[in-house]
Structure 1
Amino acid sequence: MKTALTIAGSDCSGGAGIQADLKTMIANGVYGMSAITALTAQNTTGVQGIFEVTPEFLEQQIGSVFTDIRPDAVKIGMVSSTGLIKSIAKKLCEYQAENIVVDPVMVATSGAKLISDDAIDTLKESLFPLAAVLTPNIPEAEVLSGMEIKSADDMITAAKWISETYHCAVLCKGGHQLNDANDLLYRDGGYRWFNGKRIHNSNTHGTGCTLSSAIASNLAKGYDLDTAVERAKAYISGALGAMLDLGKGSGPMDHGFDFRGKGFAEERV
């Protein structure tokens, strides 16, 4: 069985972060492992608290994974401090990790910045050059490129700049009222659009975590990047299309929409 490691924060409500990543990995046919960067108290209405681990303990977690069950791919999610970012880069270089997917979580859905300028600089210097692909949304691509993105052409320009600057592929995600459900993959001087169908579901908690984990899972299984993105988008569409409705805010997706375990179909009726 192929394996994948997620390095991210924990979401106690289960819709995003480590919990979403592990659900996504098992649904996409790989064995998932985790190194937790922070515990969060959060739910569908927002984040109530964050408790970071130490850089030393994060390094211990990553080392424990790599020295026993080596991951075929690594997904990196929210890492908010410079020390943790440096620790991740150090260990990934030490173990020569492959198929690294970086979801540069910088801007909340509300527009609030989630990471300091120092930490953003460290991300750019330490982690981006290790990545097979970055998966920024529109606000994050604006932060990384230093330009406003108001059109599909702007997405191409920003993705080109990010890709050429950090020497990795970039999947610039649509949404945020621009080019909804259509994502742009830019790499090696060329680009490709991945068109998705618009699903009218306001419960989108954890979509970014889920997409990046699905891409990592498919890279772990040996698919090329284009195919991994295609398969990840199909999975997201299914998870959103299941129309799960939990919580008082923007709820989670149904990560297990395609599971058919004993009694599952009857319970869903």
Structure 2
Amino acid sequence: MSKVVQVLTIAGSDSGGGAGIQADLKTFQMRGVFGTSVITAVTAQNTVGVFDIHTIPLNTIESQLKAIADDFQIKAFKVGMLGTSEIIECVAENIKRYDFGIFVLDPVMIAKGGSALLQQSAIQSLSQKLLPLATVITPNIPEAESLTGIQIHDEQSLLQAAKSLRQQGAKTVVIKGGHSMNSQSEICRDWVFSENETFYVDSPRFNTPHTHGTGCTFSACLTAELAKGHSLKQALHTAKAFITQAINQPLGIGQGHGPTNHWAYKDEQAVSLER
């Protein structure tokens, strides 16, 4: 049996390369795990917007999942853009059938440019079918609000939303602070709620438009670290450091919300070792 850690992403394809399947596979590679993929939708998008979405037929999604299950030893997987209720239900039924290990759910709903990536009617399906299966769910504040119906405006309402998500079945809830309740804050805080502990992870907040794919990248890094056997806290700290450097060292690509820099964390580590 191979000693190489193998992971899976189930998500949509981003033709611009900054988010979705492309961001996940780049992140997996940078974290030293072998990435496999199941594509749920093909999007025509760039840093300016999303111009077309073609969902993949359910039988093709099922075939991709079976192909992965038949030939790879997946230690952990993440789910990103699913798009419709039908795809959500298809993925939920199949991941119950196969043993893909630790499950990180990134409930992708809206692209950085504002385009909807999840039908409104599908939010309930995501909550009922997928969320109870998740080891970790990583919504940002707007996504947490959509999944719970709770308007988050302070730490008390954030705690209520996290409690609601755990009551819906998620074992660990990570509410990301990129969409801060305090727009003037210089800190970007992610809150973590699990059965045994509650803590937060801070990083500096950077004023930049180059944040396309941050949620995908963060959850992919978290998936990779958990697959390698690291604790939740260790994995979260690495994922936070990885995305912080990816944002802090932008590539300057595109005319809109540019992609993050997936090799920045490795470069930062190399610099630190040289000092």
- Shared fold (TM-score greater than 0.5)? yes
Partner of 2:243: 236
Partner of 1:169: 172
CA distance in 1, matches of 2:266, 2:115: 36
Note the C-alpha offset of 1:189. 6.2
CA distance in 2, matches of 1:16, 1:231: 19
Paired positions, count: 261
Partner of 1:21: 24
- Structure 2 residue matching 1:166: 3-state secondary structure: coil
Could you list the per-position Cα deviations for residues 194-229 of structure 1 after superposition, in whole angstroms to 9, with x for gaps in the alignment? 111222332000000000101000111011212111
CA distance in 2, matches of 1:169, 1:36: 25
Could you list the per-position Cα deviations for residues 12-60 of structure 1 after superposition, in whole angstroms to 9, with x for gaps in the alignment? 1100000000000011111011100010000000101011101110010
Could you list the per-position Cα deviations for residues 161-206 of structure 1 after superposition, in whole angstroms to 9, with x for gaps in the alignment? 2112224211001122425520001111641111112223320000
Compared with structure 1, are the counterparts of its residues 167 and 244 closer, same or farther at alpha carbon in structure 2 (3 Å cutoff)?
A: closer
CA distance in 2, matches of 1:200, 1:112: 22
Do the aligned residues in 1 keep the contact of 2:127 with 2:168 (CA within 8 Å)?
no
Note the C-alpha offset of 1:120. 1.4
Note the C-alpha offset of 1:110. 5.7
CA distance in 2, matches of 1:19, 1:79: 15
The counterpart of 2:201, out of the listed 194, 216, 222, is 194
CA distance in 1, matches of 2:255, 2:112: 16
Do the aligned residues in 2 keep the contact of 1:128 with 1:168 (CA within 8 Å)?
no
Compared with structure 1, are the counterparts of its residues 65 and 41 closer, same or farther at alpha carbon in structure 2 (3 Å cutoff)?
A: same
- Structure 2 residue matching 1:208: 3-state secondary structure: helix
> Can you give the 5+ residue segments of structure 2 that lack an aligned partner in the other structure?
none
- Structure 2 residue matching 1:228: 3-state secondary structure: helix
Note the C-alpha offset of 1:127. 1.0
The root-mean-square deviation of aligned C-alpha atoms, in Å, is 1.8
Partner of 1:221: 228
Amino acid in structure 2 at the alignment position of 1:77:
G
CA distance in 2, matches of 1:191, 1:161: 15
Do the aligned residues in 2 keep the contact of 1:160 with 1:189 (CA within 8 Å)?
no
Compared with structure 1, are the counterparts of its residues 201 and 110 closer, same or farther at alpha carbon in structure 2 (3 Å cutoff)?
A: closer
Do the aligned residues in 2 keep the contact of 1:160 with 1:187 (CA within 8 Å)?
no
Matches within 5 A, 1:1-269: 1-109=4-112, 113-178=116-181, 180-188=187-195, 190-258=197-265
- Structure 2 residue matching 1:23: 3-state secondary structure: helix
Could you list the per-position Cα deviations for residues 95-125 of structure 1 after superposition, in whole angstroms to 9, with x for gaps in the alignment? 1221100001123446665323431121112
- Structure 2 residue matching 1:106: 3-state secondary structure: coil
CA distance in 2, matches of 1:242, 1:114: 27
Deviating beyond 6 angstroms after TM superposition, the runs of 4 or more aligned structure 1 residues are none
| Identical-residue share of aligned pairs (%) | 41
CA distance in 2, matches of 1:191, 1:77: 24
